[in-house]
Homo-oligomer: A and B are copies of this chain.
Amino acid sequence: MALHTKEQLTAVIKSAGLRLTDHRLAILATLARVKQPVTVYELVDTLRKKENIDQATVYRNLTSLHEAGLLRRLDFNHGHAHYELETGEASHQLVCNSCETVEKIEGISIDSAVQKMLKRSKKFKNATTHSIEIYGVCKHCA
């Protein structure tokens, strides 16, 4: 699931039932390379250096990849979306209230507590993903 090689990316796209296009490959490859959730603006900017691609295409592909379950979408209350690869694991991050930087926190599981929440509310059987955001002021802005 490392999603490094072009073959892996290709396989993931196809097994998701999506058509294989250069743009889709490039979008996935970029997200696989980057460590933080990326904004659409950043993604378009990055992709445009390598290929001719329109923002509408990026938006449409992000939506289809997300609907196929390959991407996770996050907001952070920034007024714009951020995307990252969907790993199936929980996504945790620290969000600075001042500069809006986002820092991913790895290696901590809150799954048991989340499972408790899910059981408490019996109505949500098919819960898929969850995300936890902690809002505060980062070291740099403090």
- Interface residues of chain A, those whose CB is within 8 Å of chain B, are 73-77, 79, 81, 92, 94, 97, 103, 105, 107-108, 110, 113-114, 116-118, 120-121, 123-139, 142
Q: In the bound complex, how far is the Cα of B124 from the Cα of A132, in angstroms?
A: 15
Nearest CB in chain B: distance from A78 CB, A: 8
Contact of A134 among B74, B77, B107, B127 (CB under 8 A): B127
Contact of A121 among B97, B103, B128 (CB under 8 A): B103
Chain B residue numbers with a CB within 8 Å of A136 are 124-129
Q: In the bound complex, how far is the Cα of B74 from the Cα of A25, in angstroms?
A: 32
Q: In the bound complex, how far is the Cα of B139 from the Cα of A129, in angstroms?
A: 16
Chain B residue numbers with a CB within 8 Å of A79 are 81
15 pairs, CB–CB < 8 Å, chain A vs chain B: A94-B117, A103-B123, A110-B114, A117-B132, A117-B134, A118-B134, A123-B138, A124-B138, A124-B139, A125-B136, A125-B137, A126-B136, A128-B136, A129-B134, A132-B132
Contact A128:B117 (CB < 8 A) given known A73-B77, A77-B73, A110-B110: no
Interface centre among A103, A107, A120, A134 (most CB of B within 10 A): A134
| Closest CB pairs A-B (n = 3) | A127-B136, A75-B75, A123-B139
B128:A97 contact, CB within 8 angstroms: yes
